[in-house]
Structure formats: C-alpha cells, structure tokens
Amino acid sequence: MDDTQLGAIFSLGRSGSTWLGALINSHPEVAYRFEPFSRLRAQKDFQAFDARLKNELSGSISTSEIIRLMLPAHPLVDKPPFFDKAHALGFAKNQAWIASRVLRMPSAFAHLYTPKNPRHLVFKEVGYGIPLAGLDPEVFGSIPAIYLVRHPCGNVLSSLTGQNKGLMADWHMENIGQFLSENSPALFAKYPDVATMSELKKLAVLWLYAVEDAARLAGRYPNILFVSYDELCTSPLQVTKKVFAHLKIPWHSQTEEFIDSCLSLDENESKNKALFSRKYFNVYRNPVTAHSKWKQKISIEDKDAILRIVSQSPIYKRFFE
C-alpha cells in the first residue's frame, strides 16, 4: 500500500467531475472512489477521520492512512461504469453491484472487489470546500489534485435543472447569508442581500466563492492543477493526458478507447448506455455536443445576471473570457 499513489479531483457540483472521474477510472491501474467523504460520512471510520481534521489533530494523518480508509470497495463509491482492472477481480461486477444495492450487502461487495495493491488510488469530491485542506501542509502538498472548473453559466443552469427535478438538495441556498458571512466575509460584504437574491444569482455567488477559495489554496499548493471542463470536452484526449501526467498516471490505450467511444455517441446511444443512471448523471455522452447545450437554453437576461457577478473573477478571466 505504501507504493500506491494517491490523487484527487475537487470541484463544485455540476462541473463535470463525474465524467472526468470516469476518464480516470478507465485506466486499468487506477482504483477510483466516487465522493467518499460525503457518501460514506455515516461510517465510523470516516466520522473519526473527519473529527481529527476538524479538531486540529491532522498532523498525525498520513497518505497511507487516507489510502487505507478509501481502499475498500463499497457500492456507494465504487460504481458503474466498471472497467477492466489489473489489480482487482472484475468478473460479474455489474451484477454484484446491483445485488449489493438491492440486498444492502456492502461487505460482500468489498470482499470480492477491494483491490490488493493498486498503483493509483484517485477519489473525487464535490462541494464548496476541499476536504483534505486541513491536513498537514507537507502531506496535503504531496497529493496531486485536479480542480475542475466549469463555465459559470453552464454550472448555474445545470444546478438549477437538478434542483427543479429534485435531484440535488443544497442547504447552502437556504443558509447562504450565514454561510458567506462565516466563510467569506469580503464576499458577504459585497452581496449583503444575497439571501433575498434569485436562485440563479445565489448559484452564481456560490460559484464565485467556490472557485476563488480553491484558487487561493492552489496559490499555496502547486500540487493543485486547475482544469477547465469546457476545454476537457472540446479537447478530451489532450486535456486528459495533461490530467494523467499531473496525477502521475501513465497513459493507457483503454482510456483512449473510452474517449473515442464517447466521441462517437449520438444522443439516443447516450441514453441507452447508462446502467441504472439518470440521464442527468450519465457519463456516456458525447462531450463535444453535451457540454455547451446551456448556450442554446440560457436567456440573455440570465446570462447577463450571472456574468455581472462573476466576470471580474481572475478564474473567469483566465478560462472563459
């Protein structure tokens, strides 16, 4: 396990990290974990780990401990699509995953599919902060990480769609004033009436908070690489190779084949490829056509409202002007 390289993907929700995670997961030597800090937060091991981070006991946490925490296969964080792996059993994994969800038997799934000694373990987490930022700086700085950022208009419209369909619950929307006053007093001073803003404007303010907070952290830690989701979708092969290089993952043809298969999909094929996945969360989609659909849906008024909030952001200027 000491030979396993840990890596991370961070982003705001609805920024494309699920597809980037699938690209990374397509590598046969990567064990991938989907949002373990949020999905496994009820487990005692994760609760104890979180308490140590929050109670300033993080100096004793090593990367080996994080790997041991995340390595066990669990159906909530080791989920379709499944790819051939060099380090773990793959036989009947789709069927076993379905059975483990229906019968609620995660321990059997873990026994069958936990890898022994993967060369790489990568996890992705979404939200308004970076969960490992409380680690000892030397430990945190040793973990190569990607921060994926999406055009604010695409992010806001996708988030609104999810909320309107009941697929995304976001307590920050109800408590946004308190959240900003505690976490970003300067931004709260700029938007003191944020609690009474429209949902669209609230989401734009939260996009601004999240990406600028991550940018400040990246300014201190060169192990964090900012990547544009929009660029990933328009140049998936080139950008994925850059991501792999940063995460210290060698290139593999299996990933290239997955990219090619996505690029060849039409909309009907995309709908049919997903396994027990709502269209909203489907990774089987042509990125070139899917990522920019917001441009046909957004009104001029909504676009202007979002850009008035975010257009002075250095991250917005760097990636989207």
The CATH code of the domain that includes 12 is 3.40.50.300
Query: d(Cα 35, Cα 193) in Å, to the nearest integer?
Result: 32
| Region label for 228, one of left (φ > 0), alpha (ψ between -120 and 50) or beta (otherwise) | beta
Question: What does the pLDDT read at residue 58?
Answer: 66
Question: What does the pLDDT read at residue 14?
Answer: 92
Least confident of 57-61, 80-84, 216-220, 295-299: 57-61
The pTM score is 0.92
Contact (CB, 8 A) for 168 and 162: yes
Higher pLDDT, 59 or 312: 312
Question: What does the pLDDT read at residue 92?
Answer: 81
Q: How confident is the model at residue 269 (pLDDT cuts 50, 70, 90)?
A: low
Digit-coded pLDDT (tens) for 95-149: 889 888 877 888 999 999 999 899 999 999 999 888 898 898 999 999 999 999 9
Digit-coded pLDDT (tens) for 23-45: 999 999 999 999 999 999 999 99
Contact (CB, 8 A) for 93 and 25: no
Residues 180-206: b if buried by 16+ CB within 10 A, e if exposed: beeebeebbeebeebeebeebbbbbbb
Higher pLDDT, 122 or 2: 122
Question: What does the pLDDT read at residue 276?
Answer: 45
Contact (CB, 8 A) for 83 and 28: yes
pLDDT over 90, % of the chain: 72
pLDDT over 70, % of the chain: 91
Question: What does the pLDDT read at residue 134?
Answer: 85
Residue of 22, 35, 15, 33 lying closest to 231 (CA atoms):
15
Domain residues for the domain of 59 are: 5-320
Helix (H), strand (E) at residue 122: strand 120-126
Query: d(Cα 119, Cα 31) in Å, to the nearest integer?
Result: 8
Contact (CB, 8 A) for 16 and 281: no
Distance of CA 144 to the CA centre of its chain: 14
Most confident of 131-135, 215-219, 266-270, 283-287: 215-219
Query: d(Cα 109, Cα 100) in Å, to the nearest integer?
Result: 6
Higher pLDDT, 104 or 205: 205
The 3-state DSSP class for residue 318 equals: helix
Query: d(Cα 291, Cα 233) in Å, to the nearest integer?
Result: 7
Q: Could you tell me how many residues make up the chain?
A: 321
Higher pLDDT, 267 or 259: 259
Residue 3 above 50 pLDDT? Answer: yes
Query: d(Cα 74, Cα 70) in Å, to the nearest integer?
Result: 9
The 3-state DSSP class for residue 146 equals: strand
Query: d(Cα 252, Cα 106) in Å, to the nearest integer?
Result: 30
Eight-class DSSP state of 4: P
Mean pLDDT of the chain: 90
Query: d(Cα 79, Cα 93) in Å, to the nearest integer?
Result: 9
Domain count, the chain: 1
Distances (CA, A) of 151 to 45, 223, 306, 307, 316: 36, 23, 11, 10, 8
